[in-house]
């Protein structure tokens, strides 16, 4: 009989009745006390332990109680800044632990102009734009707004954001969704009736939403099957690629739908995954042990994440992949815009040069190597020999042979590669669409585009070096003066007063001159501050990429001014450099040992540290029980996160306590409690045979038996008494 019913029945009797059964009363009270002592502490302790959990913690558990996705969303809901990375087509964005944001990569549309952002708690990167979610639930955006994808200034109460190729999506606190940007046919934004959404993701032309019940909805393009997600169940995170969609299940497996041309949907054998991300044509997964897996298009090595360790978040969008490590540093792999920075294996290099999108290296044996964009064959230099000088232009590469002849490959629609007849050449320079050659007699020849008369150099004499920009040509004379011809709109040819010059460089609309005393002068377009070199000293070589200028110092270090569209300023750690070259989006340096380093677009965020990110929680248990939430093993959580712990003893056993790093555990004796992450922690749940339960059961049996005997005796006594009264009544009559 339940204890409550026993108490109710006993309450019907007067205390005086128990006084007549003193032998039964003490064990009965003792049994009741023991029974309550078993029932109450466990329930009360559990209530006290869970009372400290925030209201939104149940949402986190529903999403993923063991991965970074949960802890990041928890911090987002609590208005905290969790370091994270986000990748666009050609740029990478990092959120720091102080709520500020850094970005590297292409900045043509201003997508990296996030230096003044504060109080940011989540970032997302679209193709050529960046979006930030603020702690107050509002949203900011910079970059290309060609389709209105940055029109988010009026959004409020937003708790999560996602950026696609040309559209932006946000989840509101009430589970509804807002969207802006490209919406051809009204399909991509057809999210107005969505409810109970806890996460959204955006692809090229489709939007995907994860609901609180683990099901998934999608809107937008369906031609490749990327929106065929209506049958998905038990999903805890979704990711959208160009034409495919990825879903992470609660058991750590992964499902996929959509285009599979490159194998980007071949995720059926993945296990132990805690986060997924989708690029345009590849898919990346983060495993519970901090390693990465990837499938799909790997032409830019964007899938080569097999050696990554200690990763707590991954991101990919276009053709590169970034990973955030536990210590707050970033790793990245994939396309450095056009691969022009893929020079790690180069050795025995004598000279380097950089075009806007490709890099060329001259080896000591006179052969040439090249990497980067090869749309016009400008990297087809594998057969060149006896080269003593190379230079890279807009869409072509030019090589000077040791016999004074010249070879060229690449774009030639304007005749800029028609150098086969040149002889006695000792120096070459390549502009955007024209090529210049310096003869050994100090005269100059030029071919190619002559729209601004940049090739009219036939009357120049006493020239010792030449340089070429977008529409102008510069010549350094043997007396240290400089001449220039061609496009003059920005003053790039205003060099008539220069003296004491020992080297010149030109690009786009700028001209730079290095003086004999190690100082530098510059003229031309200065919108990005690329001409602000007046305070430079001890410079031994200069080069300019157009919107920025680079100087090699006497101590073999490198400095730069101007725009940083491709992360070029990650050169401040370079040492032992003896030559530099600049492209439009990257800088190349030749080291004293003949190796080459390069800095450029999106992968350069790997030089950053975003702050302390996460700690590990190692959970184990003694025999006769287990931890059901979050499980047993090693888990990664952000600093300050409250992690729910649930221990389940086997039948007949009980939790004794939690041991180990228990300083931040709310109740070390409770089976359900929380721990606050303030460092790497290891805890153990200890179980023991439940003697109190056995004693309680025995006591309950004794009580039941005693009460049964009591009631039987009392009933018998009452019956006997009634019989006696009847007999007495008969005698009276």
pLDDT, tens only, 233-292: 999 999 999 999 999 998 999 999 999 999 999 999 999 998 999 999 999 999 988 899
> In this model, does residue 612 exceed pLDDT 70?
no
Give the containing element (helix H, strand E) for 719: helix 691-732
Task: Read off the DSSP letter of residue 576.
Answer: S
Give the confidence band of 184 by pLDDT, cuts at 50, 70, 90. low
Whole-angstrom distance, CA of residue 616 vs CA of residue 635:
6
> In this model, does residue 63 exceed pLDDT 50?
no
Whole-angstrom distance, CA of residue 353 vs CA of residue 389:
10
Tell me, what's the pLDDT at 682? Answer: 95
Lowest average pLDDT, out of 42-56, 74-88, 510-524, goes to: 42-56
Which pair of structure tokens corresponds to residue 225?
């099957």
Q: What pTM, to 2 d.p., does this model score?
A: 0.58
Q: How far is CA 49 from the centre of its chain?
A: 34
More confident residue, 558 or 547: 558
Which pair of structure tokens corresponds to residue 102?
């850094």
Tell me, what's the pLDDT at 708? Answer: 75
Tell me, what's the pLDDT at 381? Answer: 96
Whole-angstrom distance, CA of residue 145 vs CA of residue 232:
34
Tell me, what's the pLDDT at 66? Answer: 29
> In this model, does residue 359 exceed pLDDT 80?
yes
Give the confidence band of 608 by pLDDT, cuts at 50, 70, 90. low
Which residue, among 106, 86, 85, 125, has the nearest Cα to 602 in the 3D structure? 106
Whole-angstrom distance, CA of residue 167 vs CA of residue 358:
31
Mean pLDDT in residue range 188-198: 85
> In this model, does residue 4 exceed pLDDT 50?
no
Set out the domains of the chain in order of their start, with CATH numbers: 1-51+694-733 (no CATH), 83-333 (2.130.10.30), 349-599 (2.130.10.30)
Q: What mean pLDDT value characterizes the chain? A: 83
Whole-angstrom distance, CA of residue 714 vs CA of residue 720:
10
> In this model, does residue 158 exceed pLDDT 80?
yes
Give the confidence band of 48 by pLDDT, cuts at 50, 70, 90. very low
Whole-angstrom distance, CA of residue 30 vs CA of residue 27:
5
Q: How many helices (H) and strands (E) does the chain have?
A: 6, 49
Which residue, among 145, 147, 150, has the nearest Cα to 132 in the 3D structure? 150
Mind listing the pLDDT tens digit for each residue in 585-604?
778 889 988 998 887 654 45
Sequence-separated (6 or more) residues with CB below 8 Å from residue 115: 101, 102
More confident residue, 196 or 691: 196
Which pair of structure tokens corresponds to residue 636?
């990664």
Mind listing the pLDDT tens digit for each residue in 651-699?
889 999 999 999 989 889 999 888 888 788 999 999 998 776 666 667 6
> In this model, does residue 15 exceed pLDDT 60?
no
> In this model, does residue 497 exceed pLDDT 50?
yes
- State the pairing for strand pair 91-95/84-87: antiparallel
Peptide bond into 630 cis (omega under 30): yes
Tell me, what's the pLDDT at 98? Answer: 87
Mind listing the pLDDT tens digit for each residue in 516-546?
999 999 999 998 899 999 999 999 999 998 7
Lowest average pLDDT, out of 125-129, 323-327, 447-451, goes to: 323-327
């Amino acid at each position: 009989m339940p204890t409550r019913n026993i108490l109710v029945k006993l309450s019907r009797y007067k205390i005086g009745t128990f006084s007549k059964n003193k032998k039964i009363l003490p064990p009965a009270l003792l049994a009741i006390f023991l029974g309550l002592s078993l029932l109450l502490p466990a329930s009360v302790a559990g209530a006290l332990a869970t009372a400290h959990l925030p209201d939104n913690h149940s949402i986190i558990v529903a999403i993923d109680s063991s991965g970074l996705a949960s802890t990041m969303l928890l911090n987002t809901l609590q208005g905290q800044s969790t370091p994270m990375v986000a990748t666009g087509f050609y740029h990478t964005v990092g959120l720091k632990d102080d709520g500020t944001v850094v970005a590297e990569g292409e900045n043509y549309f201003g997508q990296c102009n996030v230096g003044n952002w504060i109080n940011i708690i989540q970032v997302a990167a679209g193709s050529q734009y960046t979006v930030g979610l603020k702690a107050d639930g509002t949203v900011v955006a910079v970059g290309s707004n060609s389709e209105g994808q940055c029109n988010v200034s009026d959004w409020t109460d937003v708790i999560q954001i996602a950026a696609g190729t040309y559209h932006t999506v946000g989840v509101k606190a009430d589970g509804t969704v807002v969207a802006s940007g490209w919406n051809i046919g009204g399909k991509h934004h057809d999210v107005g009736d969505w409810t109970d959404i806890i996460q959204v993701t955006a692809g090229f032309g489709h939007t995907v939403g994860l609901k609180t019940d683990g099901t998934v909805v999608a809107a937008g393009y369906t031609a490749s099957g990327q929106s065929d997600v209506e049958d998905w169940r038990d999903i805890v995170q979704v990711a959208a690629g160009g034409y495919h969609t990825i879903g992470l299940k609660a058991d750590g497996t992964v499902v996929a739908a959509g285009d599979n041309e490159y194998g980007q949907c071949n995720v059926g054998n993945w296990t132990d995954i805690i986060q997924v991300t989708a690029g345009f044509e590849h898919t990346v997964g983060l495993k519970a042990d901090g390693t990465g897996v990837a499938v799909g298009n790997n032409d830019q090595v964007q899938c080569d994440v097999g050696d990554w360790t200690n990763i707590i978040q991954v991101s990919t969008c276009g053709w590169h992949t970034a990973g955030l490590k536990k210590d707050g540093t970033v790793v990245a792999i994939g396309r450095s815009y056009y691969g022009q920075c893929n020079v790690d294996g180069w050795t025995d290099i004598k000279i380097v040069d950089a075009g806007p999108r490709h890099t060329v290296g001259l080896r000591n044996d006179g052969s040439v190597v090249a990497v980067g964009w090869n749309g016009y064959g400008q990297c087809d230099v594998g057969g060149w020999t006896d080269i003593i000088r190379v230079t890279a232009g807009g869409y072509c590469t030019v090589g000077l042979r040791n016999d004074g002849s010249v070879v060229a490959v690449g774009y030639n629609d304007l005749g800029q590669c028609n150098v086969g007849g040149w002889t006695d050449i000792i120096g070459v320079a390549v502009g955007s669409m024209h090529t210049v050659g310096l003869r050994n007699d100090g005269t100059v020849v030029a071919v190619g585009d002559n729209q601004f008369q940049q090739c009219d150099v036939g009357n120049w004499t006493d020239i010792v070096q030449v340089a070429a920009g977008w529409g102008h040509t510069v010549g350094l004379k043997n007396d240290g003066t400089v001449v220039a011809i061609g496009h003059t709109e920005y003053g790039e040819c205003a060099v008539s007063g220069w003296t004491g010059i020992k080297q010149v460089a030109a690009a786009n609309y700028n001209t730079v001159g290095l003086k004999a005393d190690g100082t530098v002068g510059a003229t031309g377009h200065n919108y990005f501050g690329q001409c602000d070199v007046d305070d430079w000293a001890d410079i031994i070589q200069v080069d300019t990429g157009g919107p920025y200028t680079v100087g090699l110092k006497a101590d073999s270090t490198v400095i730069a001014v101007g725009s940083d569209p491709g992360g070029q300023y990650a050169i401040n750690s370079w040492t032992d450099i003896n030559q530099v070259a600049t492209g439009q989006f990257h800088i190349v340096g030749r080291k004293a040992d003949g190796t080459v380093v390069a800095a450029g677009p999106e992968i350069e965020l790997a030089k950053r540290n975003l702050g302390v990110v996460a700690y590990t929680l190692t959970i184990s248990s003694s025999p006769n029980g287990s931890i059901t939430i979050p499980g047993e093993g090693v888990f990664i959580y952000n600093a300050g996160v409250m992690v729910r712990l649930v221990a389940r003893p086997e039948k007949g056993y009980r939790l004794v306590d939690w041991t180990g790093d228990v300083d931040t555990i709310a109740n070390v004796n409770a089976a359900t409690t929380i721990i606050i992450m303030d460092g790497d922690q290891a805890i153990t749940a200890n179980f023991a045979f439940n003697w109190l339960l056995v004693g309680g059961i025995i006591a309950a049996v004794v009580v039941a038996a005693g009460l049964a005997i009591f009631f039987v005796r009392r009933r018998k006594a009452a019956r006997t008494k009634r019989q006696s009264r009847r007999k007495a009544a008969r005698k009276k009559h």
